[in-house]
Structure 1
Amino acid sequence: MDAIVTAAGKNSRMINDFKKMNKKPVHKLRLELNNKPILVHTLEKIFASEIEEVTVCLGHHKEEILNILREYSLEDKVNISINENPEVGLSKTIENALKNGQDKYYLYAAADQPTLTTKTINNMIKVLRESEHPENTISILRRRKTGKLDTAEGLGMPFCCYGKLLYRYIYDKDDNLNPILREMIKDNVEFYAIKEENELELLNINHYEEYLKIKKTMG
């Protein structure tokens, strides 16, 4: 199984937080935990899992993110997918990365998920592999219930599924992922939610206060 890691967003909420504090904005993927950028933590967790190849998706701030990869000698360890038009939604970013590799299974993760554990990644992979219909199944980190789901409400990355399955739903769409996941579950795609290893895995880093909360625990 391979991985698609999205790092193409505007970083607008974090930038606004820095402006409110009268500080020079820092891209959230460069913010450090234990003396390493958030992006590096996320990639290291994925590298340590059963994932074979990793593609990082870039759009906005691509040079800044490429610089992080270079600084930590990671540029040669990942494939790069660049949105020609950075002004696109998450579904289009993933579609661009999948265009030439749909016949594979993937982990889809956001670059700002440094708390995602290698064990949870491997659990998602295991559940998908052992499912009755892996080509029509999504294994996903839970937000509410665990086990087989009948709703995709509140769900997003990380999750694992077959490239062709997701591509059918995101092709030529420019949207966030949740509406697409809701459409998939209505079409009887099977969803299995995995319990987190710890509560931090359920936190998204969109705002500075969320970064501080994670930093307090991780260092």
Structure 2
Amino acid sequence: MTLSVSAIVTAAGKNRRMQKDQNARELPRKNKLLLDIQGKPVIAHTLERVLNTSVEECVVVLGHFKSELMDFLDNMDDGRIRIVENIPEDVHLSQSLLNGVKNSKGELCLCAAADQPTVTTSTFSHLIDKVKSYKNPENILSVLSRGQSGYLDTAEGLGMPFSCHRNILEKYLPQYSGNINPILREMIKNNVVFYGLECENELELVNINKMNDYELILNNFKE
């Protein structure tokens, strides 16, 4: 059976740590997702890599700074991109993700943060394929590992990107408000199977939260 896949990309954050860094360095304040990497904004690299997988649609969830991001997203030439907004805009990451899931159509969801431009298309594809090939796709979550790889007995330290059946997200996300890791811990406690995918390189594990993260990626980025 072929399972349809939606990507959910969260791009709704407050940008607080980056703005604090920019202020401390007396730099112009700019949304981290619009910072330039090799001629393209951060969010463009993330979306291009997601869209180069087998996903049938890509739901981008906006909140804070939505007008700035909308100006860029409106010019992305891919009919699979759909934009949804958090209302109210000041919600936790789990609620942003749930908003994306509710507005998606796929049976499987590839969940990524827009500030992860170094995660490769290959890694995103492997996350999807692991769920598709599992004997019970409705009870497995495939996640980029930050330590042990293979089948996992703990969700400590894990977050996005990951892939799983939408039923898992619709069950757990409404119950918990906050960051993603506590929700993943609850899933594994309730016997959802976790598979940790080994990173292709250490840069895949970097989220852009501060200027140091951005500079590390900027100096080492490969298309």
Shorter-chain TM-score: which interval?
A: over 0.9
Inter-partner Cα distance in structure 2 for 1:85 and 1:173: 17
Partner of 1:44: 48
Of residues 190, 193, 201, the one that matches 2:193 is 190
From 39, 43, 60, the equivalent of 2:64 is 60
Offset of 1:154 from its aligned partner? 0.2
Q: Which residue of 2 aligns with 1:125?
A: 128
What is residue 141 of structure 2 aligned with on the other side? 138
The normalised TM-score by structure 2 is 0.93
Between the aligned partners of 1:132 and 1:45, the Cα distance in structure 2 is 27
Please provide the CA RMSD for this pair.
1.5
Residue deviations 1:67-112 (CA, integer Å, cap 9, x gap): 12134445x5411111011111011111122225476101000001
In structure 2, distance between residues paired with 1:98 and 1:40:
21
Provide Cα deviations, 1:158-214, integer angstroms capped at 9, x if missing partner.
Answer: 000011111111115321100000000000000001011111101111000110001
Partner of 1:168: 171
Task: Name the residue aligned to 2:16.
Answer: 12
Within 1, Cα distance between the matches of 2:104 and 2:13?
22
Structure 2: how far apart are the matches of 1:187 and 1:122?
26
Residue identity (%): 44
- Which stretches in structure 1 are left out of the alignment for 5+ residues? none
Alpha-carbon distance between aligned partners in 2 of 1:55 and 1:72, rounded to the nearest angstrom = 13
The aligned residue for residue 211 of structure 2 is 208
Structure 2 Cα separation of the partners of residues 16 and 119 of structure 1: 34
> Which amino acid in the other structure matches residue 123 of structure 1?
H
Moved more, 165-174 or 94-103: 94-103
Q: Is the 8 A contact 1:151 1:182 kept in 2?
A: yes
For residues 82 and 195 of structure 1, what CA distance do their matches in structure 2 show?
32
Equivalent pair of 1:5/1:54 in contact (CA under 8 Å):
yes
In 1, the alpha carbon distance for the partners of 2:185 and 2:19 equals 30
- Counterpart residue number, 1:88: 91
Q: TM-score if structure 1 supplies the norm length?
A: 0.95
1:172/1:151 CA distance change after superposition, 3 Å: closer
Runs of 4+ in 1 over 3 A off after TM superposition: 71-74, 100-103
Q: Which AA in structure 2 matches 1:21? A: R
Unaligned runs of 5+ in 2: none
Task: Say if 2:140 is the partner of 1:107.
Answer: no
| Aligned counterpart in structure 1 of residue 36 of structure 2, from 11, 32, 38 | 32
DSSP-derived class of the 2:126 partner? helix
